Amino acid sequence: MTSNSIRQKEIAEKTGYSINTVSLALKGSPRISEETRLKIMECARQLNYIPNVVARSLVQKKTNTIGIILTELMNPILTETAQEIEQLLKQAGYNMMLMITNFSPEQEAEALDVLVSRQVDGIMMYPLVRANFSKIRAMHDQRFPIVLLAGGEYDSPSDAVYMNRQAGAYKAVSHFIQDGHRRIGFIRGAMNDEEKQNGYTSALQDNGIDFDPGLVSIIQGDGYKAGYASVQSLYEKGKATAVLCSKDHIALGAMRWCREQGIRVPEDIAFIGFDDIAASSFADVPLTSVQYDVKSVTKKATELLLKRIEEKEHKVGAPLQKIAIDPKLIIRQS
Amino acid sequence: MTSNSIRQKEIAEKTGYSINTVSLALKGSPRISEETRLKIMECARQLNYIPNVVARSLVQKKTNTIGIILTELMNPILTETAQEIEQLLKQAGYNMMLMITNFSPEQEAEALDVLVSRQVDGIMMYPLVRANFSKIRAMHDQRFPIVLLAGGEYDSPSDAVYMNRQAGAYKAVSHFIQDGHRRIGFIRGAMNDEEKQNGYTSALQDNGIDFDPGLVSIIQGDGYKAGYASVQSLYEKGKATAVLCSKDHIALGAMRWCREQGIRVPEDIAFIGFDDIAASSFADVPLTSVQYDVKSVTKKATELLLKRIEEKEHKVGAPLQKIAIDPKLIIRQS
DNA sequence: TTGTACGCGTTATCAG
DNA sequence: CTGATAACGCGTACAA
């Protein structure tokens, strides 16, 4: 695009060879003699030749671009996810087109369309809701490589790699129960926390504890503030002695409130969060947390996606694959 | 790329019109009759036609893609920067190719090359070091639209939008001095904090305070841990009564150490950080901080970049532009 | 070892 | 209003 943009044509004219020879020489084809190859390479270097990947993509039907669709970036899990994927893809010779949906089903659908029209070789996405599952299923059925980064509870319409959130919640609640807790609260977001709640309720059930809707609090907005504001009702209303929070931020906010009220953690009330963010280990009372293993998820997901792309190139069929990664409970003092 | 990938050719055959007519009809050209336009649109919808943007880009010499180069993503400022830019670009009809350099000059240079070869319409970057300035200058001189997101202190080789870090540090130190502090420490990272140090030293100088190298601590690695570990030496060695930290994380870590030691903030030692991250307002002693106004920076930068792209399309010349945004000092209790 | 001819899917130019 | 025809820059057969 730069004004001095030079193409293979120019270096062909300059060296006296045909465009074809230039093309072959530049990619080091053995069919070109060492001598002319060097001559051409040297000329290309002097003219500062930069290949036009768009043209190459058109003829090769391959862009070496992967689309990434995330609901947001400010969530530390997704921040790390994006960064890890970028690194892994780069190592494999791919680049990344990033799309943020802001939790909007319309933007999610739009992102899928845009990426397809841009001929990306594959898509990784952190899906929002079921809203676009039919679309995703259709793409998968047409053998478009698409890997979801979540999808435990539901019938994934495509390949998926995910942390088993339900198992994580189950582990956390079981840990509370082992410590003697019977009245266990749960603070969760309005969306996307169904799996965690399933783990919460089934752990209660398996231990013969009745589910009390009054011990579940659904919050909105910033986790820290909402945790700070919502824990009071659980503490007073049901006298919960332990609270599972669907995010560490929520737990940290709640613990802040407790400290200000002179309520001791974990003696008076215990907490477990999700995701094991950095701040959790540094909290006044280091927070026990269900770890989200970003590196494992992104690694598996990238491997799976690249495998799908390769399979497609070789027209190999393969069944839908779902990879669940079991979270660890990082036990600290809360 | 999907197996059923259908092109304008198919819908031309299906409807009996020429490829050309199809192309024009699909983009709603007034030169096509309403009737045939509807017929063609309907057919396209039925066949689920999706335009091939790669082919379009090749002929139009425009990809509607912007390259973003960042040193990392885990820094909350950059996380928000990436997210904001994505939103702004999307609104303007562009998509974003994201590259992370991991603070490596080689990766930064590589990223520039890749983006150019991918024919992006422009680049926004958070530059690492001067290592690639000559390359950037060359690109800018060839009228390649490229906007830097930092670049106060040095002679930017290209258009730039940035927070005036030096002014921020100056404000912070002046604030300390107004409060009666004379022994003011500075904890900074090994790289990219020269501007802040310049502001620090010039504020000292302007107030007749001698610069004491012993009061400057250069740290490495995670800010929180490093702040926690490094503040002791400043407190003991020089009995600093106030410390400017080049990041909020550092200040938060340092304040944590103080609390554990029974040192009162701000009575025994005061702190100011940089960037005003969310956690700062929630700290036990809410942290005074030099705010980084991400939204302003990204907005100005995007506007400037898109203007440059337009100018280039219309072959208009324009002088290099540098936009500095003055940071606010968010005064809290620390 | 090298050159010719054609195609990738779309838009742009010019006739009709 | 519509249709040929030629680009865009590169890669791949096939021929020489």
Contact A100/B at CB under 8 A: yes
Q: What percent of chain B has pLDDT over 70?
A: 97
**Residue B257 pLDDT class (50, 70, 90 cuts):** very high
Chain B residues touching A50 at Cβ < 8 A: 113, 116-117
Q: Do A139 and B87 touch (CB under 8 A)?
A: no
Do B1-49 and B165-291 fold alike per CATH?
no
The pLDDT tens digits for B40-74 are 999 999 999 999 999 999 999 999 999 999 999 99
The mean predicted confidence, pLDDT, of chain B is 91
Min Cα distance A271 → chain B (Å) is 19
- CA B20 to C1' C13, in angstroms, rounded, equals 12
Q: Do B1 and A96 touch (CB under 8 A)?
A: no
Nucleic strand D interface residues, CB < 7 Å? A 5, 7-9, 19-20, 23-24, 26-27, 51-52, 55-56, 58-60; B 16-21, 24, 31-36, 55, 58-59, 61
Cβ of B29 less than 7 A from strand C = no
How far is CA A231 from its chain centroid? 29
Q: Which nucleotide is nearest to A18 (CA to C1')?
A: C3
Q: Which nucleotide is nearest to B18 (CA to C1')?
A: D3
CATH classification (class only), A165-291: alpha beta
Cβ of B60 less than 7 A from strand C = yes
Q: Do A58 and B61 touch (CB under 8 A)?
A: no
Domain locations in chain A as residue ranges: 1-49, 165-291
Interface of B with A in 265-294 (CB under 8 A): 278-279, 282, 284
If one compares B270 and B222, the residue with the highest pLDDT of the two is B270
- Sheet of A242-245, strand order: A216-219, A184-189, A242-245, A270-275, A288-291, A329-330
What CATH number labels A1-49?
1.10.260.40
Using a 7 Å cut-off to protein CB atoms, list the covered nucleotides of chain D. Answer: 1-5, 7-13
Using a 7 Å cut-off to protein CB atoms, list the covered nucleotides of chain C. Answer: 1-5, 7-13
Counting as low any pLDDT under 50, the low residues of chain A are 1-3
Min Cα distance A304 → chain B (Å) is 18
**Residue B29 pLDDT class (50, 70, 90 cuts):** confident
The pLDDT tens digits for A238-247 are 679 999 999 9
The pLDDT tens digits for B208-218 are 999 999 999 99
In terms of pTM, does the model score above 0.75?
yes
